[in-house]
Structure 1
Amino acid sequence: MGNQLIPQSHLREPETLVTGKTVFYVGLATAIIGLSAATLKVDPAILIGSIIGLLGLLLVFKYPFFGFFLYALLYFLRPGERYPALAPLRLELVFGLLLLAAIAVSDALRGSRLRFPTDRLSISFFVFIGALGVCTLFSEWKSQSAEVVFTFVKLFIFYYYLTVLVNTEKRFLYAYWFIVVLTTVIGIEAAYNYFSGHFRINQGVMRTGGATSYGEHANSLAMYMATTIPMLIYLMARYRKALVRAICMGLIGICFVTLLITASRSGVLCILAIAFCYAWFSRHRAAYIAALVLLSVATWVVLPEQYKQRYGSITSGQIDESSQGRIDAWKAGLGMFTDRPFVGVGPGVFAAAYLDRHGLWLYSHSLYIEALAETGVIGTTAFFTFLVIMILDLRKLSRIRGVPEARSEELKVFARAGYAIIAGLLVAGVFGHILQRDTWYLMAGLVVAKYNLAAAESAEA
């Protein structure tokens, strides 16, 4: 990105040397080997997972972009958590690295160099991951911090697919839709569990959560639902067909309802910040705010009493047990930062550090305290530099020249969605420890992909 415009020719996929016939015969051989191995004492889930993985890797040689869909399915649905027999395989990390290796080998066979993003937003992301690595070296619990770094390695794989393989507008829309649909599916699953009686009673309120670590906690799920809504708003503006817009409206409704039944106050703050961000950019600001107020009142009227009490506590000023815990965590976090100002106590180590100092397992409950306490000046500076660059790149994207008027308007709508997501997360981050929230980094990957396409289009105009 930076000041570079990427020519469209550099974005095109090189021709593959792997033919469909090769895929068929090698796939057949893999299936035969797999069936033969079934006679051994091998867990069927591991056997099936391994065969599917091998076939997937083979397909990536011929169709590199196919790897994006495979990895997205693993990343969002997390079969290793749904089927414990697959957990030892560490599918997301291992398969993701193998997919990257397959792409590298495929590029080498075609005589192409390994593709790697070199724009300023990508570099700032890599610097942040490097900062986490440095903080891990001095962590109070190195193995836990290493797990956080591995989490970011998995995010890097996803980021790589978005920034390198999404090289046409069609691919961008495929990737965008796939992310939105998979996130919404997680929300649908959580809502179904809730309405079928499978919910959790927490702090006297019925709350839903995801089936896996992706949105398992109610606050995490709420923020995923809130930040998916701007993505759906972009898709509504992108398509003129009534059916597509109706589908998007339906998915927005699902996300909103799922958010409400999480009983997450930080989730509500997130969606309110998103709504006011859209109001700020609207040409009809007064009408937009009036509609927002009416929707809020209507929602409040139909909310069950337990949720009214829960969400009403946001403005009540009362210090309940949860609020007091946050205050205690914030004070302790500032103390950790004072003790270790440069590298913090270590990525992902706040709760353990709090336990060591105060005898209680408690999370930071704040993005800002989390960043300072866990990563010190090094990690905090790297993260917010990354964030500022993403905001600046969204601004550049919304002002790009040399594209048709309709395209320019579409880019502005995309940028608004990005601004809204960032604003929502920054507000929610006051009360939520969301430094590891993948929404930041997936959004950055989409921004880079979109900018590359728009810049190439502008250069060829």
Structure 2
Amino acid sequence: MRDILVCLLVFGSLPFILRSPVNGVMMWVWISVMNPHTQGWGFATSFPFAALVAGATIFSMLVTREPKSVPWSPVTVVLLLFGAWMIVTLPFSLHFEQSVPLWSRVMKILLMTFVVLALVKTRAQVERLLWVLALSLGFYGFKGGIFTISSGGAYRVWGPEGTFIGDNNAIALALIMAIPLLYYLLTLTKRRLLRYLLLATILLSALAALGSYSRGGFVAIAAMGLFMVYKSRRRIAVGSALLLAAPLLLLFMPQQWVSRMDTIDNYELDASAQGRLNAWAMAYRLASDRLFGGGFEVYTPSVFAVYAPNPNAVHAAHSIYFQVLGEHGFIGLGLYLLLGILTWRTARWIIRTASERSEFQWAGDMAMAIQTSLVGFMVGGAFLSLAYFDVPYYLLCALVVTRRLMENHIDEQAAAARAAGGTGAPIPA
């Protein structure tokens, strides 16, 4: 039944995609983030829904007359350079044949990121994108939170198998990133029932993140909470709400969860933590030796035998930063960090400009929510191999498009003021 439902939704969307490629963007984001086909039991689990929707979207993009142009900015230029650098590094991969499948997957994500940038043009479409992102992840938060309550926190929460967020640590980070987006959407919503559902999803997502037993997720949600209090216009109210909610959520967690979180302070005695440090050292030595890094598949015994302090402790990177460093060298890491910095500065520009112009309050609130989400990703990502997780790239799209909308609005107002004999206000730097 689930397989049939997913097929009906996807195939039923094709006429709407062919009518307007923006509909295809939303379907693509839904499929790539939520992976609804993984909730089936039969043929749908292996059907190429993403390729079907991507093909229909690109075809519609080419034949329809809707405006389509990438809003070029320092962010989008660096994103393009980062993708180009991964094309350059591929031939120098230590394990070329094994690297090609993941390289192909990453290229598809970047291609569709630029399709999103080219097609999403209005505030309504930006908010629609955030609804799709938040609810796609919120589905697993709602489901995982109920599972944590029903099991008394005795079992770990896992994400959909075979996806970026299938691992318990990855689903924890994804749910943490979803919480600020869900809260932003809650502030936009006037319908009481929907507000209650969003609030329940936020609380259940936080509980599911704890129920994943992810120590990195616990650190990320703590960092995100502190950032929310620091940046909020109502620090006392937000801080008080978090202080009240935290003990209530922790009440559902058993002693074994507390014991696992206690190992954060004793990382030198934890084999998993030591394995990560060994993988990080391997990535640094590999990048120091090879300008182009080692390619997408470097976490193998043969590579660790050459570059790792402990060649017998073979682990994945468990860090977005060391992952990019080991796979694409210092240039790749530099581009990745620069992309993050420029994305953050774009959000900061939106927040600052919105504080000076009341008509942009929605944009300021949205950018603050995305910044908070990115804090969770940057902190939690320090302990996870999720450098190519697509959600941050779609959040980047929302920020870039929103800034362009604001700049165009300010330009139009300035032009109207000049036409009326005024001087107009310059766009903030």
TM-score (normalised: structure 2): 0.83
Q: Which residue of 2 aligns with 1:91?
A: 49
Identity of aligned residues (%): 20
Which residue type is aligned with residue 326 of structure 2? A
Separation in 2, partners of 1:402, 1:433: 36
Is the CA contact (8 Å cut-off) linking 2:354 and 2:361 kept in structure 1? Answer: no
Distance 1:195 1:275, change over 3 A: closer
**How far does residue 172 in structure 1 lie from its aligned partner after superposition?**
2.1
Pairing 1:267-282 to 2, within 5 Å after superposition: 267-282=217-232
Q: Which residue of 2 aligns with 1:307?
A: 257
Is the CA contact (8 Å cut-off) linking 2:19 and 2:60 kept in structure 1? Answer: no
Is the CA contact (8 Å cut-off) linking 1:215 and 1:221 kept in structure 2? Answer: yes
Which residue type is aligned with residue 26 of structure 2? F
Question: Is 1:414 aligned to 2:371, yes or no?
Answer: no
Deviations 1:424-449 (A, max 9, x none): 22222332222122232111011122
Separation in 2, partners of 1:351, 1:287: 49
Which residue type is aligned with residue 210 of structure 1? G
Which residue type is aligned with residue 166 of structure 2? E
**How far does residue 234 in structure 1 lie from its aligned partner after superposition?**
1.7
Aligned equivalent of 1:70, options 20, 24, 27? 27
Is the CA contact (8 Å cut-off) linking 1:260 and 1:268 kept in structure 2? Answer: yes
Q: Secondary structure, in 3 states, of the residue corresponding to 1:116?
A: coil
Separation in 1, partners of 2:378, 2:29: 25
Deviations 1:246-293 (A, max 9, x none): 332111111101101100011111111111111221345466445544
**How far does residue 378 in structure 1 lie from its aligned partner after superposition?**
2.0
Distance 1:349 1:100, change over 3 A: farther
Q: Which residue of 2 aligns with 1:383?
A: 336
Q: Which residue of 2 aligns with 1:231?
A: 181
Q: Secondary structure, in 3 states, of the residue corresponding to 1:345?
A: coil
Aligned equivalent of 1:209, options 158, 169, 182? 158
**How far does residue 333 in structure 1 lie from its aligned partner after superposition?**
2.1
Deviations 1:214-259 (A, max 9, x none): 4210010000100101112222333455544433211111110110
Q: Which residue of 2 aligns with 1:255?
A: 205
Aligned equivalent of 1:179, options 122, 125, 133? 133
Question: Is 1:143 aligned to 2:143, yes or no?
Answer: no
Separation in 2, partners of 1:325, 1:449: 40
Is the CA contact (8 Å cut-off) linking 1:125 and 1:386 kept in structure 2? Answer: yes
Q: Which residue of 1 aligns with 2:417?
A: none
Separation in 2, partners of 1:386, 1:333: 20
Q: Secondary structure, in 3 states, of the residue corresponding to 2:170?
A: helix
Separation in 2, partners of 1:132, 1:318: 34
Higher relative contact order (CA 8 A, sep 6+): 1
Question: Is 1:134 aligned to 2:91, yes or no?
Answer: no
Separation in 1, partners of 2:377, 2:102: 20
**How far does residue 176 in structure 1 lie from its aligned partner after superposition?**
1.4
Of the structure 1 ranges 184-193 and 323-332, higher mean CA displacement relative to structure 2 is found in 184-193
Which residue type is aligned with residue 91 of structure 1? F
Deviations 1:6-49 (A, max 9, x none): xxxxxxxxxxxxxxxxxxxxxxxxxxxxxxxxxxxxxxx89x96
Q: Secondary structure, in 3 states, of the residue corresponding to 2:372?
A: helix
Q: Which residue of 2 aligns with 1:346?
A: 295
Separation in 1, partners of 2:354, 2:376: 28
Which residue type is aligned with residue 344 of structure 1? G
Is the CA contact (8 Å cut-off) linking 2:68 and 2:119 kept in structure 1? Answer: no
Question: Is 1:438 aligned to 2:385, yes or no?
Answer: no
Is the CA contact (8 Å cut-off) linking 2:102 and 2:296 kept in structure 1? Answer: yes
Separation in 1, partners of 2:356, 2:364: 12
Q: Secondary structure, in 3 states, of the residue corresponding to 1:207?
A: coil
Which residue type is aligned with residue 398 of structure 2? L
Is the CA contact (8 Å cut-off) linking 1:136 and 1:346 kept in structure 2? Answer: yes
**How far does residue 54 in structure 1 lie from its aligned partner after superposition?**
6.8
Which residue type is aligned with residue 214 of structure 2? S
**How far does residue 64 in structure 1 lie from its aligned partner after superposition?**
2.0
Aligned equivalent of 1:364, options 313, 317, 323? 317
Separation in 1, partners of 2:68, 2:314: 44
**How far does residue 60 in structure 1 lie from its aligned partner after superposition?**
2.3
Q: Which residue of 1 aligns with 2:283?
A: 333
Separation in 2, partners of 1:451, 1:403: 14
Distance 1:360 1:143, change over 3 A: farther
Aligned equivalent of 1:324, options 258, 274, 288? 274
Aligned residues: 404
Separation in 1, partners of 2:67, 2:89: 32
**How far does residue 165 in structure 1 lie from its aligned partner after superposition?**
2.4
TM-score (normalised: structure 1): 0.77
**How far does residue 166 in structure 1 lie from its aligned partner after superposition?**
2.2
**How far does residue 320 in structure 1 lie from its aligned partner after superposition?**
1.5
Is the CA contact (8 Å cut-off) linking 1:401 and 1:458 kept in structure 2? Answer: no
Question: Is 1:425 aligned to 2:425, yes or no?
Answer: no
Is the CA contact (8 Å cut-off) linking 1:345 and 1:353 kept in structure 2? Answer: no
Which consecutive residues of structure 2, in runs of 5 or more, have no partner in the other structure?
414-429
Is the CA contact (8 Å cut-off) linking 2:138 and 2:175 kept in structure 1? Answer: yes
Distance 1:356 1:402, change over 3 A: closer
